[in-house]
Amino acid sequence: MTEIPDGPQLITYADRLGGDVPRLTALLEGPLAGVFTGVHVLPYYTPYDGADAGFDPEDHAQVDPRLGTWTDVRRLGEHHAVMSDVIVNHVSARSARFRDVVARGDSSPWAPMFLTLSSVFPEGASEADLARIYRPRPGLPFTTMVLGGRRRLVWTTFTPDQVDIDLRTPQAWEYLTGVIDALTGAGVSMLRLDAVGYTGKEAGTDCFMTDSTSGYTRRILDLAHARGATVLLEIHGHHTQQIEIARTVDLVYDFALPPLVLHALHAQDLGPLGTWLGIRPANAVTVLDTHDGIGIVDVGPSDLRPGEPGLLLPEQIDALVEHIHDASGGSSRQATGAAASNLDLYQVNCTFYDALGRDDRRYLLARLIQLVLPGIPQVYYVGLLAGGNDMELLAATGVGRDVNRHHYTPQEVDEALGRPVVRAQLDALRLRRDHPAFRGAFSYSAAGTRAALSWELSPGGETHRVVLELDVRDASFALRATRGGEEHTVLDESAV
């Protein structure tokens, strides 16, 4: 298995930042040189602009020719660790395999690969069986389709355009192995397993994170490790699930961090964040924002763990959601829940910058907290450029998540890179990438509204140290680091 640098990584769509893979490479090796050690390129498969922004691939083993080639992906990986998505749970309803099933029904050799209601419930499903199924959106996860002239209930966890696959079948593993081979053959060294929690559908369960899911994940881990790649699991759920899963895989997301940081800054309360710092897994990828919304289920009580409290109380979560809506001037309310499609029950659709009211000082402090914590920090391209909610794109598509998926022109990128809050983030990212203290020991202390987060490495008597001191009462902070044996202030609130 390839050792992955633990420096900061960029999360981006190739088309929405650079325009395509070669121009993204040029951006990382030009204006962003020395900032990131890796890049998570969101789905660039054919087509990258389907019903779910690439997460519904028709051909998962082919780069969309509008974005580049596998040679371009390999070129990107020459100087940056490349992460790519393995969409484990589903494929596009327009994929060649599923279109063959639509045409030929059970006569198609690919028919076993796709899940229907009867695949999991061959004797039929009771009302209790159906009500128990966990789904991130309202309603049942089935779409009526005609397969080989016969009306069937096809399992579609997310949208009718995304057909779930049956990982109990050899056809599914032939497909997934081909995807992993294509990615690792092009130099991709990190695989992000998208929606893997929904793969283990079993009668008598809620069909989420079942024993079968664990078995499928181990099988993918083995495939990845044999090809020199590491694996990141994308799971939204109760925080205790993340802790448990982290013990069995390479990497998990710290999805609890974004809402806890927002709570700390909006409520001027470090308590819940301090609690999480004491129990969170160290093998985590930290984020503030991603291509999805800001997770809520990750810090609250969950039906997945009945009776277990969350990191935030229900009333704290309600207050946090209202804080976000107020801070964004109500724009996040228009992009969330029943106001828009992608009706995820556990997320607020909003850029992180707007979630903090476009307050540069609080925003920079939030980013510094992320960068100083243990783990691999990933920074979403909209967050890197301190972007606000894209209400024009939301109006054009009606898709709630598009509020945080702006298409940047080269001029917009240049202008954003000149803003003080963006320049300060870049300075902090370079420090996180290069300072030797981050290879040492982490410690933290918190009391009231004040906290200190620090790293220290002392090889051969020389001390390398980085410390972030902060106060969420007024969002004051100072990031200091040793240089040449002396400690200097790298950033404080005067930077913005």
Closest CA to 266 of 324, 315, 318: 324
Q: Looking at the structure, do residues 227 and 369 belong to the same domain, yes or no?
A: yes
234 in active site: yes
Q: Which domain holds residue 319?
A: 9-88+169-437
79: annotated binding-site residue?
no
Asked whether 18 and 42 are in contact (CB, 8 A), the reply is: no
Asked whether 378 and 10 are in contact (CB, 8 A), the reply is: yes
Q: Looking at the structure, do residues 280 and 184 belong to the same domain, yes or no?
A: yes
Q: Looking at the structure, do residues 346 and 397 belong to the same domain, yes or no?
A: yes
The answer to whether position 53 is within a domain reads: yes
Judged by average pLDDT, the poorest of 70-84, 123-137, 293-307, 341-355 is: 341-355
SS3 content of the chain, % helix, strand, coil (to 5): 40, 20, 40
Is the peptide bond prior to 47 cis by the omega test (within 30 degrees of 0)? yes
What ranges make up the beta strands (E) of 400-440? none
Number of domains in the chain: 3
Two tokens at 317? 């979560």
The mean per-residue pLDDT over the stretch 232-240 comes to 91
Q: Which letter, b or e, does each residue of 425-440 get, where b requires 16 or more Cβ atoms within 10 Å of its Cβ?
A: bbebbbbbbebebbeb
The answer to whether position 4 is within a domain reads: no
236: annotated binding-site residue?
no
- Of the three residues 389, 409, 437, the one that is the final residue of a domain is 437
347: annotated binding-site residue?
yes
465-479: pLDDT as tens digits: 999 999 999 999 999
218: annotated binding-site residue?
no
Two tokens at 281? 């897994």
130-187: pLDDT as tens digits: 999 988 777 899 999 999 999 999 999 999 999 999 999 999 999 999 999 999 999 9
Per the prediction, the chain carries an average pLDDT of 94
Q: How confident is the model at residue 343 (pLDDT cuts 50, 70, 90)?
A: very low
The pLDDT of residue 342 is 42
The pLDDT of residue 136 is 75
The mean per-residue pLDDT over the stretch 264-272 comes to 97
Amino acid at 81: A
Q: Looking at the structure, do residues 336 and 313 belong to the same domain, yes or no?
A: yes
Two tokens at 324? 């976000």
The pLDDT of residue 488 is 96
Asked whether 270 and 446 are in contact (CB, 8 A), the reply is: yes
Asked whether 393 and 407 are in contact (CB, 8 A), the reply is: yes
Please tell me the number of Cα atoms within 13 Å of 479 on its side-chain side: 25
CATH of the domain at 116: 3.90.400.10
- Of the three residues 140, 164, 188, the one that is the final residue of a domain is 164
- Of the three residues 392, 408, 437, the one that is the final residue of a domain is 437
The CA-based dihedral angle spanning residues 420, 494, 443, 439, taken in that order and rounded to the nearest 10 degrees: 40
430: annotated binding-site residue?
no
The answer to whether position 471 is within a domain reads: yes
Q: How confident is the model at residue 337 (pLDDT cuts 50, 70, 90)?
A: confident
462: annotated binding-site residue?
no
90: annotated binding-site residue?
yes
The answer to whether position 132 is within a domain reads: yes
Q: Looking at the structure, do residues 152 and 258 belong to the same domain, yes or no?
A: no
Asked whether the predicted pLDDT for residue 303 surpasses 80, the reply is no
358-411: pLDDT as tens digits: 999 999 999 999 999 999 999 999 999 999 999 999 999 999 999 999 999 999
Q: Looking at the structure, do residues 362 and 408 belong to the same domain, yes or no?
A: yes
Q: Looking at the structure, do residues 71 and 116 belong to the same domain, yes or no?
A: no
Q: Please tell me which residue in 85, 234, 289, 354 is annotated as part of the active site.
A: 234
The answer to whether position 485 is within a domain reads: yes
Asked whether 237 and 135 are in contact (CB, 8 A), the reply is: no
Q: Looking at the structure, do residues 310 and 447 belong to the same domain, yes or no?
A: no
Closest CA to 104 of 114, 92, 90: 114
Q: Looking at the structure, do residues 414 and 448 belong to the same domain, yes or no?
A: no
The pLDDT of residue 297 is 84
The pLDDT of residue 85 is 98
SS3 (DSSP) at 275: helix
194: annotated binding-site residue?
yes
Judged by average pLDDT, the poorest of 302-311, 313-322, 409-418 is: 302-311
Q: Looking at the structure, do residues 428 and 474 belong to the same domain, yes or no?
A: no
**β-pair partners for 466:** 455, 481
SS3 (DSSP) at 229: coil
The answer to whether position 2 is within a domain reads: no
The answer to whether position 3 is within a domain reads: no
Q: Looking at the structure, do residues 193 and 335 belong to the same domain, yes or no?
A: yes
Question: How far is it, in rounded angstroms, from Cα 249 to Cα 219?
Answer: 11
Burial of 99 from C-beta contacts in 10 A (0-12 / 13-18 / 19+): middle
Q: Please tell me which residue in 6, 59, 72, 194 is annotated as part of the active site.
A: 194
Q: How large a percentage of the chain has pLDDT more than 90?
A: 88
Closest CA to 250 of 4, 440, 37, 438: 4
401: annotated binding-site residue?
yes
CATH of the domain at 295: 3.20.20.80
56 in active site: no
The answer to whether position 298 is within a domain reads: yes
The secondary element (H helix, E strand) that includes residue 354 is helix 352-355
Closest CA to 412 of 431, 389, 436, 387: 387
Question: How far is it, in rounded angstroms, from Cα 118 to Cα 120?
Answer: 5
Asked whether the predicted pLDDT for residue 485 surpasses 90, the reply is no
- State in Å, rounded, how far the first CA of the chain is from the last one: 41
254: annotated binding-site residue?
no
pTM of the complete model:
0.95
49: annotated binding-site residue?
no
137: annotated binding-site residue?
no
Q: Looking at the structure, do residues 414 and 310 belong to the same domain, yes or no?
A: yes
345: annotated binding-site residue?
yes
82-109: pLDDT as tens digits: 999 999 999 999 999 999 999 999 999 9
